[in-house]
Structure 1
């Protein structure tokens, strides 16, 4: 996060998706998956301003249509019902009916109207939903405002993830403490263009619905859209945010004097979750962060950073602890960002390997030692303008193939 006044006002706190006032959660095991929890719910006690961004894959799963329709009805939601283990994608008319049935069952359980409930699914594509397991599970959900229940929800949305991903920030706006929390799943099929994972954000801020949507879209472009694990864009996933308004601050819009404090929290939560997804990539052993400066503008910087972090050769370079920086300059060259090779600087950690297009002498032993870290940072300076940006990914290992070769078994 930039070191500015707004960022100094924002504090990270060790709390969960239920930390913002008004939110409750739960998760349980229905046997859709063999062992782990596979059905969860987030519930808000009052109608919450809602916004979401969705995968850009042309093949989209049934729950996305149901959720879009629900949010478009009046710009609010009160709950999300989420399952893992089955994506309900490419399941035809039956899949659409099942998504609506999940929505209706959750609404009845929680005492809501159907348009108050969003639906999300993740897992295997092309298999019909086991509604004989899902519907009894919905009846057993008992959302509460507790860390234990929040973690149960977080577990329920995971597929091949090794770890839960959650984070929370708070700040004072209009004299009121405002919290913004998030949870996410994502380990494979990660090359977002809008959103290709499940991420759910909650806040107790009072905020204009249109402004919330615009803020989420902008932050998504700067965070979730800057991660890649394997270059595949999923059929299902989304980033969604609900705002309960329980903090009772003055309504946030871009004209509010502390608007940047709220968007700073939104970016901080989203960047944390994005890094966790990249770090937890299937088979991954390390997080790769690419920082680009000196691009023509921020968009160009993001484009260059994402090309580097998405390169299979850069990923294998990191896995093999081999400071083969030629793979970095190669990815920059095809990124589409404006550059002149004679102006490019590259560093791996603090080790300078290229300066104004000229190779620099460096210690291979020192570079190998650095590349063994759990986080590897590659710095690039293009000397083209004021633009800067980051992107995140992970190394590519033998285990990625093993995990995906046996995904259904």
Structure 2
């Protein structure tokens, strides 16, 4: 038993060990919710929602000494490996390491290693590499669950040289640290973009022309007056005609990315005359007409594709920006900023769902700068998006790299 990828300086044999042979396996408990004096204490209480292949350094909830004493909850030491026995969606089978002393609920299996010949981090990464296999061991029932007995019976194949275990664990930890750093950078860039957008669209930040001169003051325009042809609805999305024909911009495309992704559009078969009437052009902006939640109403996105085979769904409204008055990319950014979103949401009509129509938004007033200042703003925000997307791509590539390591460094 030798992994496909191994540090060449190590030659020790890989041997299988049963979890029950190298660790104590137990689970936690939940103090009574009816007892107020059991909760909001100083003892961390962890649930499976926090088990996500990362270290746990704090809890979402805390219990008191009395809650610990009067329940089946147990205080586990730092270094305990937690494995989710059950939970929503993809939670079951996930593992984390406690970096604090903490209690857990009964849905967490606590694996406390008792052998000096077994490295905690190596075991954690080994179990992580076997995530899908562990999930498939779950008991059948109304909800597929793992059990303490199944966890005890799990096999861990590890090198007999504990130094090799440590080096594998340290290497994978460095990869995880890189992912964490990239995620933090991604969050900081997004926060910066959000903050700078608020300052730009409230005119706290103003751009200058190429000669260093101040642009003219911003002017107020009604939304419909910025469109070449008013505001229109799209075509009926007939389920019987899906799968071939023209590319269709749908409601779901409003919530993905900073512009509509052509390659992800579904297909809809339409009569040529109907398509020509509802044909989409570069720069067209779309709004959702209905939403389960009020804040989702009139959410917008922009088409930046030059393709000639795109139409749009009847659950959307469309404007075609008059490019002599407004830059489409600027308008797309502006419509997602605080003041326009607040104005659009306020026009929604609430019943079972929140709805909005052309007449509800046509006279929304927007403060618009000169066209050249719009273009400078759009270029600046687009450059930020490119940086954000580049970091996101780095995150995905590093995660893919780690996935390959997990597949090759363990037996």
In the superposition, the TM-score normalised over structure 1's length comes to 0.24
The structure with the greater share of residues assigned to strand is 1
How high is the TM-score relative to the length of structure 2? Answer: 0.24
